[in-house]
Amino acid sequence: MLLCVTANHKTAPFDLLERLSRTPDDLAGSLSEGSKGAVVLATCNRFEAYVDVDGAADESDVARILNTVADRSGVPADTLTASSSVHSGARVVEHLFSVASGLESVVSGEGEIAGQVRRALTSARKHGTTSPELERLFQRASEAQRKVKNDTALGRAGRSLVRLALELADSRIADWSAARVLLVGTGAYAAVTLATLRERGAQDISVHSPSGRGAAFAAKHGIRALPKAEYARAAAHATIVITCTSAELPVLDAAILRAGRGPALTALPSPDDAAFDCPIPGRGSSTGAAPTQLIVDLGMPRNVAADVAEVEGIALLDLETIRLHAPLEELQATDAARSIVRAAAATFHEVGARESVTPAVVALRGHIFELLEAEIQRARRRGDDGGQVEQAMRHLAGVLLHTPTSRAHELAAQGRGSEFIAAVETLYGLSAEPVAERDAPDDAATA
């Protein structure tokens, strides 16, 4: 049975999610011990453990999952329990399909989560912790997400945390073409951020990579890479700094900004600069002066130290603040998307139910056709001129198998497939061995 333990922006405080985002890469391996497999999905707004347990799940399975996560993350088990919820069986399927489609995100319909779901499966494959059912679950989740994206206005809106952050920044920056932008980070989120900046007309964009990958990223995207020696000054003099790295420690703090400014503040833009307009919601210095520099922290864990907000002239916009300003869901589009998700989940269960009785159906048909071939050979030895007896026998076998095959699928759809399997074993003495997983890895899901 499938189990999902989730702590997300609806159930857990931001600080707890930040701690859970630091869980080690091999956590799925620990969770899969004693189970068929596990996949871990950790993003800036959610932590989810999907576990394929052996047999029917009970409270001991949930307790084991929570205790394992607590041990590996350092979050007390009682805190984790109070800030998480549990889905089991059929509820797991619709939940993941909703998550992958952006329906459970801070910004309804945001696009980044789809890639994060695919990467979670890729990571589990890499560590050898998937199971046939988890493979099928995550592959079908990606299919549901693509259908939501293609068939609903919610998907076409293309909203994301990056877009929301820059929409909030729009009220602060009057002229993006005149803004000096410093991007810190070179991962997938950085590429999305860069594309969104260019949509707004930003031209003066530099990139710095704490891990040393800035030059390659800059060459690929046609922007300027900053060496470490120039980082502090560039950060202090930028109109807007956007951080989006996976670093576990802050990559920007008050000391870096003050060092970059030097003894004078004359290099900073003033509130009258053409790039600036009115204030945005965010945290900043309490001096009463209008902020003259915007820092957007899209990192999880936080990329920007808290003391940056105390530096004069700084407005800090982090994920916690962005989440508070997320817009209301687009109700009509969301309803259409949820209908797609429910239909996809129903199909998943129907296919799974059919697969559960397939070994028994195959065994029964194989048994009947084995008897049929023996009788056909006997008829041929007796002189079946024209094959009329063979034709009649084959027709009869098909008629006889039609009803039990149809009944098997009906029982499976009702959750009673085990009754058909037991009947085949009792009446014919046939062992219905499970068939191998038919779904090959979806190459598109690992892109």
List, in sequence order, every residue forming a beta bridge with 87; answer none if it has no partner.
Answer: 4
pLDDT for position 303: 92
How many CA within 13 A on the CB side of residue 333? Answer: 22
Q: Do 253 and 115 share a domain, yes or no?
A: no
DSSP-based helix, strand, coil % in the chain, nearest 5 = 55, 15, 35
Q: Do 191 and 264 share a domain, yes or no?
A: yes
Q: Do 134 and 187 share a domain, yes or no?
A: no
pLDDT for position 444: 35
95, 88 contact by CB (below 8 A): no
With 90 as the cut, is the pLDDT of residue 45 above it? Answer: no
Q: What is the CATH number of the domain that holds 73?
A: 3.30.460.30
Q: Do 317 and 195 share a domain, yes or no?
A: yes
With 90 as the cut, is the pLDDT of residue 160 above it? Answer: no
Residue numbers of the domain that contains 18 = 2-159
Q: Do 185 and 119 share a domain, yes or no?
A: no
Residue 336 domain flag: no
pLDDT for position 265: 39
pLDDT for position 263: 59
Instruction: State percent of the chain over pLDDT 90.
Output: 40
User: How far is it, in rounded angstroms, from Cα 15 to Cα 47?
Assistant: 12
DSSP 3: E
* Catalytic residue list: 44
Residue 414 domain flag: yes
Q: What is the pLDDT of residues 48-90, one digit of tens each?
A: 999 999 877 788 899 999 999 999 999 999 999 999 999 998 8
Q: What is the pLDDT of residues 323-346, one digit of tens each?
A: 777 665 554 567 788 899 999 988
pLDDT for position 328: 52
pLDDT for position 327: 61
User: How far is it, in rounded angstroms, from Cα 125 to Cα 118?
Assistant: 11
Q: Do 203 and 310 share a domain, yes or no?
A: yes
Please give the residue that has the higher pLDDT: either 359 or 202.
202
Q: What is the pLDDT of residues 30-39, one digit of tens each?
A: 999 989 999 9
Residue 337 domain flag: no
* Alpha helices (H) along 127-276: 132-151, 153-157, 161-170, 188-199, 214-221, 228-237, 254-261
Count of structural domains, the chain: 3
With 60 as the cut, is the pLDDT of residue 94 above it? Answer: yes
pLDDT for position 56: 79
Please give the residue that has the higher pLDDT: either 138 or 383.
138
Q: Do 154 and 233 share a domain, yes or no?
A: no
With 60 as the cut, is the pLDDT of residue 348 above it? Answer: yes
CA distances from 137 to 30, 88, 97, 100, 376 (A): 20, 13, 9, 11, 44
List, in sequence order, every residue forming a beta bridge with 262; answer none if it has no partner.
Answer: none
Q: What is the pLDDT of residues 203-231, one digit of tens each?
A: 999 999 998 999 999 999 999 999 999 99
pLDDT for position 153: 72
Q: What is the pLDDT of residues 268-309, one digit of tens each?
A: 444 344 454 545 555 555 444 455 789 999 887 889 999 998
With 60 as the cut, is the pLDDT of residue 416 above it? Answer: yes
Phi first, then psi: what are they for 431, rounded to 5°? -95, 120
Q: Do 251 and 376 share a domain, yes or no?
A: no
